[in-house]
């Protein structure tokens, strides 16, 4: 699933929950900020794991 589709799906679910539960507007931005931080951390970890694997592969090739 593409990242844009995942973000759209998460936003749609959050909007439905907000409409159903009747949360105040003050609660919603905090949840979005926390979710964005989680997505950013996950992407950062994936990128750096890929870099480590690439470096390791380069070292194997040069040996």
Write b or e for each residue in 2-22: b if 16 or more Cβ atoms lie within 10 A of its Cβ, otherwise e. Answer: eeeeeeeeeeeeeeeeeeeee
Q: Tens digit of pLDDT per residue, the chain (63 long)?
A: 577 788 888 888 888 887 787 655 555 666 777 777 778 887 777 777 877 888 888 888 776
């Amino acid at each position: 699933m593409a990242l844009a589709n995942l973000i759209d799906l998460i936003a749609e679910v959050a909007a439905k929950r907000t409409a159903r539960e009747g949360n105040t507007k003050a609660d919603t931005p905090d949840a979005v900020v926390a979710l964005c931080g989680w997505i950013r951390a996950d992407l950062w970890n994936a990128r750096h794991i890929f870099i480590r694997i690439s470096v390791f592969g380069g070292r194997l090739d040069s040996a």
